[in-house]
Chain A
Amino acid sequence: MGQVIATLLCAVVLLVVPLGVVQVHLVMQVKSELADLSLAAAKYISNRGGLNQQDVEEAVRRFIEQELAEKPFRIEPAGVTVGVERLKAADPLLWSHEDQFRLQLGVPYPAITRLFVGKERLAVSRYGTINVMDYDL
């Protein structure tokens, strides 16, 4: 009887270990994609500037959807949360030269099972500087 239980346990462990390996791989992959995506989005904001907060937010969302459509990423556009806020502003409305901003991106935790999940979301935040003159907007 003891042998049977031990064998069953072995089988369970044998299934869980590859599952864990795949899960870790998946999380690392999504983290890398998020690093890549957030850099591209931060650069995009830097070089684009904007007329106001809403304009920037909409542009970033469009840019991210476009990026995800072009690149073979795992991240689904629908699950991405985008937050942009300005930390230093020269003009109350225009996002222009040397304004500082913070971009926050979040994606759902890429869990294949509920077994190992600790967090609900993966998030990254990037600080950047706008490089567009106000007369170019």
Chain B
Amino acid sequence: MRLDEGGRATGIQLLSISAMLVFLLFGLAVFDADLAMHKKLEVKALLELANHDATFAVNEVLKTEGIIDLNLDEALDRFARRMQENGGYSREGNRFHPSADSVTSDPLPFAYYYIDFEHWQRDFSLSLRYHDDSLQQIKAVHGSIAQTEGGYIEVEIITEEGEVLRLSPKRMVGPSLLVVAYVDEQPFTPLLSGHAFPVVSVEEIKW
């Protein structure tokens, strides 16, 4: 009689422990999906705000001659400053290093390309390869036909596995600075897969 009751109680405990494990696993999957979503939104916000500020770096000398052009070095400094202010990232070469309260925990490699006043009306396609934690430019091609309303930017990224990611085309409305970053995060438990996705921002020069 006693043995039987004890057996039943242990059965219930086993059942509840396995139910708890299932809940935890389910919770982990939900949390991971939330985290990926949050990273995507936040990195996009950071890039857009930083690129917006960067495109204020107009070359004043050329502007007096009626030519609107970007000071690329100043633009990148402004970009880096905004990344620091909004996201706590610091620039080192072609990577942004996160601080403790940044949204990502691994360095964020990025690539940029400036499409100047002579080229913004033509289509532009950029091909990048993600390899060894950095984004390398493979090819950058300007189209030959000028459209008065501006050309389309097309970006493709080849991942380490050889997969080709094509980002949706964006239309330029003036000389533009294009910035691409690639988020590649290790999973926080080996149970889950990591987060890897590109983020792109195109901003026209502000003058």
- Number of A-B residue pairs at CB separation under 8 A: 93
- CB-based contact B23/A17 at 8 Å: yes
Which residues A70-90 have CB closer than 8 A to chain B?
Answer: none
- Report how many residues on chain A are interfacial, defined by Cβ distance under 8 Å: 33
- Complexed CA–CA distance, A35 and B19 (Å): 34
A29 within 8 A of B: yes
- Interface residue range, chain B: 20 to 34
With A7-B13, A32-B38, A126-B49: A24-B31 Cβ-Cβ less than 8 Å: yes
Interface of B is mostly: helix
B32 closest partner in A (C-beta)? A28
Interface of A is mostly: helix
Partner of B42, one of A18, A29, A35, A127: A35
A107 within 8 A of B: no
Which residues A4-39 have CB closer than 8 A to chain B?
Answer: 4, 6-7, 10-11, 13-14, 17-18, 20-21, 24-25, 28-29, 31-32, 35-36, 38-39
- CB-based contact B30/A35 at 8 Å: no
Which residues B82-101 have CB closer than 8 A to chain A?
Answer: 82, 85-86
A25 closest partner in B (C-beta)? B30
